[in-house]
Amino acid sequence: METADVVIIGGGVIGTSIAYRLAGNHKVILIEKGEIGAGTSGSCDKAIFLQSKKPGFPIKLAQASRMVYENLEEELGMKIEFQKNGGMIVIENESHLDFMRKFVKQQNKAGINVKLVDQKEALAFQPCLSPEIVGATYSTEDAEVNPLLLTQAFAEAAKRKGIIIRTHTAVTDIVTKDGRVIGVQTNKGRIETELVINAAGPFAPKIAEMVGVGLPIIPRRGVILISEKVKPMVHGNILCSQYIATKHLSNNTDAPSYGIGLSLGQTESGNVLIGGSREFKGYDKAVEPEVLTAIAMHARRIAPFLDSIRIIRTMAGFRPFTSDGLPIISETPNMKGFIIAAGHEGDGIALAPITGLLVASLVNKDLKYKDFLDPLKFDRFNAIHASPKQG
Amino acid sequence: MRIKKHPILESLERKEVQITYNGKSYLAFEGETIAAALLANQIRILRYTEKGKAPRGIYCGIGHCYECRVTVDDERSVRACITRVKDQMKIISQGIDADEI
Amino acid sequence: MKYDLVIIGAGPAGMCAAIQAASNGARVALVDENPVPGGKLRGQVYKEPKSDWWIGEKIVRSMESKIKQLGVTCFLEREVWGIYPKWKVMLNNGEQLESDFVLIATGAAEKAIPIPGWTTPGVMAIGAAQVLANIQRVKPGNRVAIIGIDALSLTIAYDLKMAGVNVVGIYLPPLNAFSLEKSNPLKMIAYLSSLSHLAPNPMLKLLGKLGQIESVQKLGVNYYPPFGMKVWGIPLHLRKAVVEIIGNEAVEEIVVAAVDQNGQLGRKQEKRIPVDCACISGGLYPLVELANAAGCESVYIEELGGHIPLYNEELETTQSGIFVAGNSTGIEGAKVAMAQGELVGTVISIRLGFVEGGPELIKKAKEKVNLERENAVIKFHPGLENGRAKLERLSRIRE
């Protein structure tokens, strides 16, 4: 029977980042039910925003991850289109101004270089914006990356270092004995292992169920429209204050339908990515046409040039939502050999580099990242855990 | 380039119209597509790519590949291969003007 | 707007379905992105084996007037961007057509075979050359090379010849991940032999015979003349591949190299041939994006052109109320498409309660599809029957 030191479940940006960090020191098999980077990592935008993160620990974590990006392209030996083009949060109406002013102050205190600019300045830097906007916040620290290339680069670098990747392989069960993992059953055979890493993103709860653990991760559906190729129109990435309000204000009463908040960026090839919606719809990928229309209508108000360009396709993906907006990167109480690395919601791309390092640290049992790992522990949720499976 | 007499197919009776392409005036026949009218006038380049500014012409001929996108009377990304000419139509190669979107 | 039936694609299948359903009393909407109906049928011109010329344009014109008479509402120059339950057909200008029944008859597109230089203006898919010559009446070029040997490319070579175009030769594509068997002379000989003896033009007929000659098959293509063989005045090269297309603003030359019987390039020198147009033929595949988007299950059947929606004997997909006809069901000729359109029009008329005597009518319509299939003059894939059997098996399992 096949054996492995570690089995990683999930070939998205999180799973491949972990695989890369574990490579060389362990015999690792990565199992992916579809293709590498074809799920959540293949249906997201490309922004690595710092300024939008919550002050305190979330910003520290994002900063640490952002640091890893600085040399990542060189390290992985593949183009990932990492660019430091800055980011902007557009303030759409006066009612958001106060909130955003406070927000900028907070972020400055947390060490983020972000400033409030008026309508004129915003348009000077980003001529594609509507003159109707009130102003914007701008940070040079925001960056971007091609998530498809990033995931491939992690996977290829991991493979070069000896990791085995099995695509089109689905995990059907996780075999346990006396409260510890002893193997993984897939539709293509069984692998004996004492350590499983659950990096299945929005599907992580389904994997955790196999060892009788309830994960407080919920799939949140996000939809992005993709335009035809046009000449460079969007510099860096753009969010709108509505997005920040939706993300940070728990009692945001004027929340728009379908959880719509703008995220706008342009790929190197010229396609404009227009996001997006945030909806709890289970695992249903059938997006109602009204959602697409609403995203487009909201985006064109902020960036009127979108009126004259064609949408060539749309993509829907599930983001792994947690109630406190942070991922779970943790061992599992009552189940030995089951590490969880999921729940990044919309920050998977931003946090993938640090997640790989954190999980490697957990596996190697060093205490290098204790300060980062403690707040990401599973038991921070007072969730009701199902009792571990007997077996 | 026009096929005036076909051994099997009937000849077409079509009205002449005038179109402009990148500012120059050309004669075309009512009912024919922009791509056909331009080819009949010895023009093969319909657009330039966004990034490398490489020339592109008609490829699939059925509106599927979108290689023949032109701007028609200020409307972007009109497919030259399935759009009929109209008298006084103003056609511009997509990607030719630095100021267009 | 509410209709009894919304048809997407006004080609032979869509038009026939519209006529059938509307003549039974259904309110039909017919949508197409082209400014005129007819699809690829408008470009077809060939001699029928036992009768007169089959002229697509004429057939389209007569169907067009029937459609007008019957009051079918045509939505031309409209793109469909989605089909939503149950069922709303979304058009690009904001219109929304509602119906319990939708027919997807979006036809086929051509598979690409990338060759160095293939994006140069003047390089086109072989089907585009047919559209230009037979519908638009403009020569795709004065000196045209055809790359890829199959039923479609040979038919269109003949079309071009009729239109007075100088076809300088028909060549193999170079061996790459996209051309595969199409670059292999031995496989091409076997393929040619499978072309029906009823082939609609003298060129196809001759090639069919050539392929059937045992010695040619046995000896492989070693004795195939290096200068090609002229068929209907057009040199057919089974031992030469076009390895590059040259030209900056427009095609100027093709680079031709000799290949061995497996399609591998030899060491012999390459030759440059001046042309102003090169047509690539990679074969057809069904256009099924809309069916996928509507949630119809799909299957992959090589012999039918690739991915197709799974459908039953009445051409209904796994989404109830959504039907397919024509090339969306697999690559076959226009006559099969027309019979399939009639079948769908009949089935839906019965379901809507417009006609009585259901089973008998459906049986007749099905028989017509099979008859057209048997009498088809062009077979696009030698394994068509196999492919259809596979599909029927899968469909039965699903039910």
Residues in contact with A230: Cβ distance below 8 Å, sequence separation at least 6, in sequence order = A266, A270, A272, A309, B50, B101
CB contacts under 8 A, B 13-32 vs A, are none
CA distances from C121 to A275, B35, B45, C133 (A): 35, 12, 6, 17
A284 shares contact with chain C (CB less than 8 Å) = no
CB pairs below 8 Å between A and B: how many?
A: 25
Q: Note whether C162 and C46 are within 8 A (CB).
A: no
Q: Given a cut of 50, is residue C119 above it in pLDDT?
A: yes
| CA quadruple A177, A180, A183, A187: dihedral, nearest 10 | 90
C247, closest residue in chain B (CA to CA) = B55
Residues C148-171 pLDDT 10s: 998 899 899 999 999 999 999 999
Fold of B16-100: Ubiquitin-like (UB roll) (3.10.20)
| Rg, C-alpha atoms of chain A | 21
What are the structural domain ranges in chain C?
A: 2-109+284-398, 112-280
Task: Give the pLDDT confidence score for residue C339 in this predicted structure.
Answer: 98
Query: What residues of A are in contact with residue C85 (Cβ under 8 Å)?
Result: 286
Instruction: Inspect the interface and report whether the beta carbons of C250 and B3 lie closer than 8 Å.
Output: no
* CA–CA distance, C145 with C240 (Å, rounded to integer): 12
Instruction: Inspect the interface and report whether the beta carbons of C295 and A289 lie closer than 8 Å.
Output: no
Phi, psi of A129 (to 5 degrees): -80, 155
Query: What residues of B are in contact with residue C140 (Cβ under 8 Å)?
Result: 39
Can you tell me which residue has the tokens 């909407």?
C29
Domains C2-109+284-398 and C112-280 share a fold: yes
Give the count of beta carbons closer than 10 Å to the beta carbon of residue A177: 11
Task: Give the pLDDT confidence score for residue C311 in this predicted structure.
Answer: 97
Looking at domain C2-109+284-398, its CATH superfamily turns out to be FAD/NAD(P)-binding domain (3.50.50.60)
Task: Give the pLDDT confidence score for residue B19 in this predicted structure.
Answer: 98
Q: Note whether A45 and A347 are within 8 A (CB).
A: no
Instruction: Inspect the interface and report whether the beta carbons of B3 and C110 lie closer than 8 Å.
Output: no
Nearest to A57 by CA among A339, A357, A376, A379: A376
B81 shares contact with chain C (CB less than 8 Å) = yes
* CA–CA distance, A39 with A54 (Å, rounded to integer): 26
Residues in contact with C277: Cβ distance below 8 Å, sequence separation at least 6, in sequence order = C122, C123, C124, C129, C140, C141, C142, C143, C144, C145, C251
Task: Give the pLDDT confidence score for residue C113 in this predicted structure.
Answer: 94
For chain C, the helix, strand and coil percentages under 3-state DSSP, each to the nearest 5:
35, 25, 35
Task: Give the pLDDT confidence score for residue C33 in this predicted structure.
Answer: 97
Task: Give the pLDDT confidence score for residue A219 in this predicted structure.
Answer: 97
Please list the ranges in chain A whose pLDDT falls under 70.
Answer: 246-255, 382-391
Task: Give the pLDDT confidence score for residue A391 in this predicted structure.
Answer: 40
Looking at chain B, which subunits does it touch, using at least 3 CB pairs closer than 8 Å as the criterion? A, C
Query: What residues of C are in contact with residue B35 (Cβ under 8 Å)?
Result: 132, 136
Instruction: Inspect the interface and report whether the beta carbons of C88 and A288 lie closer than 8 Å.
Output: no
Task: Give the pLDDT confidence score for residue B36 in this predicted structure.
Answer: 98
How high is the mean pLDDT of chain B?
Answer: 93
* CA–CA distance, A283 with C2 (Å, rounded to integer): 31
Task: Give the pLDDT confidence score for residue B20 in this predicted structure.
Answer: 97
How high is the mean pLDDT of chain A?
Answer: 92
* CA–CA distance, A44 with A318 (Å, rounded to integer): 9
- Higher model confidence: residue C202 or residue B63? B63
Exposed (0-12), middle (13-18) or buried (19+): which is A366, by Cβ within 10 Å? exposed
Residues in contact with A175: Cβ distance below 8 Å, sequence separation at least 6, in sequence order = A181, A182, A183, A184, A185, A190, A391
CA angle C157, B78, A300 (to 5 degrees): 150
Residues in contact with A218: Cβ distance below 8 Å, sequence separation at least 6, in sequence order = A205, A280, A320, A321, A322
Instruction: Inspect the interface and report whether the beta carbons of A305 and B101 lie closer than 8 Å.
Output: yes
Q: Given a cut of 70, is residue C223 above it in pLDDT?
A: no
**What are the residues of chain A with a beta carbon less than 8 Å away from any beta carbon of chain B?**
228-231, 233, 269-270, 305, 308-310
Could you say which architecture CATH assigns to the domain C112-280?
3-Layer(bba) Sandwich (3.50)
Closest approach of B93 to chain A, Cα-based (Å): 14
Pairing of strands A135-139, A87-91: antiparallel
Query: What residues of C are in contact with residue A289 (Cβ under 8 Å)?
Result: 82, 84, 88, 90
A315, closest residue in chain C (CA to CA) = C293
Query: What residues of B are in contact with residue A305 (Cβ under 8 Å)?
Result: 101
* CA–CA distance, A161 with A369 (Å, rounded to integer): 23
How high is the mean pLDDT of chain C?
Answer: 91
Instruction: Inspect the interface and report whether the beta carbons of B61 and C133 lie closer than 8 Å.
Output: no
Quote ipTM for the complex: 0.96
Residues C238-277 pLDDT 10s: 889 999 999 999 999 999 999 887 888 877 778 999 999 9
Closest approach of A149 to chain C, Cα-based (Å): 22
Task: Give the pLDDT confidence score for residue B97 in this predicted structure.
Answer: 65
Q: Given a cut of 70, is residue C302 above it in pLDDT?
A: yes
CA distances from B5 to A257, B65, C53, C138, C163 (A): 61, 30, 17, 11, 8
Task: Give the pLDDT confidence score for residue A1 in this predicted structure.
Answer: 82
CB contacts under 8 A, A 309-348 vs C, are 311
Residues in contact with A255: Cβ distance below 8 Å, sequence separation at least 6, in sequence order = A245, A246
Q: Given a cut of 90, is residue C47 above it in pLDDT?
A: no
Q: Taking residues C12-38, report their average pLDDT.
A: 98
Tally of residues, chain A: 391
What are the structural domain ranges in chain B?
A: 16-100
Task: Give the pLDDT confidence score for residue C102 in this predicted structure.
Answer: 98
